[in-house]
Amino acid sequence: MSDIILETQDLTKHYGGVHALTGANFTLRAGEHVAIMGDNGAGKSTFVRQLTGVEVPTRGKLIFDGKERHFENPMDARDAGIETVFQTLALADDLNVPDNLFLGREIFKIRLGPFSILDYKAMREATIAGLEKTAVKIPNINNTIRNMSGGQRQCVAIARTATFHSKLTIMDEPTAALGVQETAQVENIIRTLKEAGEPLILISHNMRQVMDLCDRIVVFRRGRMVANLAKGDTDGQDVVAYITGAKTQPEYNFEVS
């Protein structure tokens, strides 16, 4: 039994002549929190889009949860157990918390095609369980998202992960638009996920946050992975050197070869 949750081999995405991502070999172990860093256009978002089914890779293998996967769309990835908190929140403002969490995968009391009857009670209970698991506090889950702060909205998006017992959570800049207090709240939730042994891929520009929350840092530059650093062996300055191109780990030294 391998404890590798996610593995990519030679994952590559070209948009015509633009090589957005080339030959990414990435592994994620059970319970591990890995940060992905890199400048704008370094390929980290492209990498994540291949994992979440938003785009289909040009070539390469994606092995998740022991099986090779070919995600055609975000639903495929979600059904396989990859939950993504997108930079632009995919929430419907006029729906309340349970309705948003279960949007597109509702629980039914009676199945009648498009007029299937919703099981509000089951969805509410699952939502409360999910919120408790992540220690997310929302003033009132019956409130619509419209009436919530940015931090609360982000928490709702993250709570989806816990509610659906997903096997991997990916967060794309979850605190970029938040204030100090709200950022602290989201970080607390990420710590709760860590304690629960839930694996996570975190894309972030915030060095302090990455050093606080993650076990390993993977750096992308110009469409390629250039470093794979255990937190204990590195520090902020070292990581920045990899991001800017001052350093490249020998095993990734593609520029010379």
Partner 1 sequence: MAETSHGTGGLTFDAKKRSWPNEANVFIALILILLAFEALGMTFRDQSFLFDFNEARDGTILNMARIKIIILQVSIVGIIALGATQVIISGGIDLSAGSVVGLTAMVTMSFAQTGMVNGNPNPKSLFGPEWMDLPVILPVLLGLIVGIGAGMINGLLIAFTRIPPFIATLGMMVAARGAAQWWSRGQPVSFPTESFAAIGDGMMPVVWFAGLAILFHLILKYTVYGKHTYAIGSNEDAARMSGIKVARHKTLVYAIAGALAGFSAIVLASKNLTAQTGMGLMYELDAIAMAVIGGVSLSGGRGSIIGTCIGALIFGVIISGFTFLRLDAYYQEMVKGVIIVGAVVLDQWRQQRASLKG
Indicate whether 135 belongs to the interface with partner 1 (CB under 8 A). yes
148 binds partner 1 (CB under 8 A): yes
Q: Which residue has the tokens 């062996």?
A: 233
The residue among 5 and 123 lying less far from partner 1, judged by its C-beta, is: 123
Between the alpha carbon of residue 38 and those of residues 220, 224, 227, 239, the distances in Å are: 5, 10, 10, 9
| Nearest by Cα to 226 from 213, 215, 212, 241 | 241
User: Does residue 232 bind partner 1 (CB under 8 A)?
Assistant: no
Window contacting partner 1 (CB under 8 A); options: 6-14, 33-41, 72-80, 247-255 = 72-80
Q: Is 78 in the site for partner 1 (CB under 8 A)?
A: yes
Q: Does 172 bind partner 1 (CB under 8 A)?
A: no
- From 184, 85, 199, 66, select the one nearest 135 (Cα to Cα): 184
What's the token pair of residue 3? Answer: 């404890």
What's 185-247 look like in SS3? Answer: HHHHHHHHHHHCCCCEEEECCCHHHHHHHCCEEEEEECCEEEEEEEHHHCCHHHHHHHHHCCC
Number of residues that bind partner 1 (CB under 8 A): 44
Question: Exactly one of 1, 16, 17, 112 binds partner 1 (CB under 8 A); which one?
Answer: 112
Q: Is 114 one of the binding residues for partner 1 (CB under 8 A)?
A: yes
Shortest distance in whole angstroms from residue 208 CB to partner 1: 18
Q: Report phi then psi at 77, rounded to 5.
A: -65, -40
Residue 75 as a binder of partner 1 (CB under 8 A): the answer is: yes
Q: Which stretch binds partner 1 (CB under 8 A): 32-40, 82-90, 205-213, 233-241?
A: 82-90
Of 112 and 256, CB closest to partner 1: 112
Closest approach of Cβ 69 to partner 1, in Å? 17
The answer to the question of residue 185 lying near partner 1 (CB under 8 A) is yes
Q: Which is nearer to partner 1, 12 or 163 (CB)?
A: 163
**What angle separates helix 120-134 from helix 150-163, to the nearest 10 degrees?**
100
Note whether 220 and 44 are within 8 A (CB).
yes
DSSP collapsed to 3 states, 119-181: CHHHHHHHHHHHHHHHCCCCCCCCCEHHHCCHHHHHHHHHHHHHHCCCCEEEEECCCCCCCHH
Write down the least CB distance from residue 83 to partner 1, Å.
12
Q: Does 152 bind partner 1 (CB under 8 A)?
A: yes
Q: Is residue 72 near partner 1 by the rule CB under 8 A? A: no
Selected from 51, 62, 138, 193, the binder of partner 1 by CB under 8 A is 138
Backbone angles phi, psi at 165, to 5 degrees: 45, 50
**Which stretches of the chain bind partner 1, using CB under 8 A?**
74-75, 78, 86, 88-95, 99, 103-106, 108, 112, 114-118, 120, 135, 137-143, 146-149, 151-152, 181-182, 184-185, 188
